[in-house]
Amino acid sequence: MSRIFRNIRKKFLRENRFTRYLVYALGEIALVVIGILIALYLNNLNSEKQAEKENQRLISDLEKGLVSNQFLLERFTNRIYTQDSIIALLIDNKLNEESFVRNRTLNDLMSINTQYSWLKDENILTILQKERDFSPKYNALFALIKNFKSRLDDLENTVDELNQLSSWNDKIMAESFEWFSGNTKADQTQKIEYILNDSFYKNRLALYRKEFNSQISHITALVSIRAAIMGEIQRLNNNSPDDWGSFFESLGLIPMIEIPCNSDQVDGERNFSGLNFYLIFNNTPQDIVLYRLREYLDVWEEYFIPAESFEILPQIPGRGFMLGDPDKCQKLFITPKTGFLVVEE
């Protein structure tokens, strides 16, 4: 082929047909450029396929890591709810000695807290480091992953503060009472009597509970964000569940309870001093406005939720969310301790 082109060039030059030769040369250059562009296109296409394959592997690894954490996440969530309930009963003088002795959790109310290292999935850090390799269609997923990472950092800081409060309490107890470090029956009896009746201890416990509820807030946020991440992965893989409610329930969440719009059962748990976080999924092609009954105020606060998107919103357990508007309620829901709401047409 190159010999043919060379002969044509020589013929044009012998005949002194420079214009035709120039046109021919430009055409030949264009062919070369087109060939290079086609080669680059095919190479880029292949690179994009390889990059997408790697992206899918990273997302699959992330999903597997989130699934493997479910048992521990549910276990620790139940544990901290139980501990918080017991602390509240003790502060309110609703526990007796028999209950204290029977329940082992009571003996360790302000213990050094577990570090949540098992939630530190390396896949999260890896995928965040490679965000630039992902196309814009993954933007919603990355927003959720970053939210999860931020909440995990907040949880670690809260645990550190709880451990400082625990150490402070232990120091006060050790310096003030010989029986605190004792193991005799008499020592344990004095310890129980002190914990059940001493007002200064209950003041310290109330301070500890305030920070403890921050831990609950972070845990419920992580549970909800985790479910949203897994839901977004299903959408990206064109594998959306037929029943989103069942899907979220399989991830340990409880559906919000719909009640009549004229119901007054939206006051929340008065003995709960913190906010939980809830997963809201707008599974409709239209943007919606969801109203949240503010904590401790009879004021409805509005939240804009785009079509087919996930949102994580705060609320006190037992308090309300509303579709419609405060003057014309369409649907009213109350929140469990860890829950979700799927809005559908």
Minimum mean pLDDT range among 45-54, 283-292, 295-304: 45-54
**133 half-sphere exposure, CB direction, 13 A CA radius:** 18
Amino acid at 181: S
168 contact partners, CB below 8 Å, separation of at least 6:
none
**Which of 21-25, 126-130, 220-224, 327-331 is the least confident region?**
21-25
pLDDT exceeds 70 at position 31: yes
The kind and range of the H/E element at 240 are none
Higher-confidence position of 24 and 59: 59
Q: What percent of the chain has pLDDT over 90?
A: 34
Q: How many CB atoms lie within 10 A of CB 317?
A: 20
- What span, in angstroms and rounded, lies between the C-alpha atoms of 232 and 137? 11
Task: Decide: pTM greater than 0.75.
Answer: yes
In angstroms, rounded to a whole number, what is the distance separating the alpha carbons of residues 303 and 290?
A: 5
Buried b (16+ CB within 10 A) or exposed e, 176-198: eeebeeeeeeeeeebbeebbbee
Name the nearest CA neighbour of 206 among 133, 285, 273, 298. 273
> What pLDDT is recorded for position 86?
84
Per-residue pLDDT for 282 more than 60?
Answer: yes
* Per-residue confidence band for 76, with pLDDT thresholds at 50, 70 and 90: confident
Distance separating alpha carbons of residues 190 and 64, to the nearest angstrom: 49
Q: Residue 187's pLDDT is what?
A: 87
CB atoms within 10 A of CB 217: 18
pLDDT of 6 reads 59
pLDDT at 144: 96
- Asked whether residue 21 carries a pLDDT value surpassing 60, the answer given is no
Q: Are 323 and 290 in contact (CB under 8 A)?
A: yes
Tokens 């949240």 belong to residue? 292
pLDDT at 2: 54
H-helix or E-strand spanning residue 286: none
pLDDT value for 17: 55
Residue 33 confidence (pLDDT)? 77
Lowest mean pLDDT, pick from 10-14, 196-200, 253-257, 297-301? 10-14
Residue 110: per-residue pLDDT: 75
* Per-residue model confidence (pLDDT) at position 248: 96
pLDDT of residue 43: 60
Angle at which helices 139-176 and 122-129 pack, to 10 degrees? 140
**Which of 83 and 116 is assigned the larger pLDDT?**
83
* Residue 81 pLDDT > 90: no
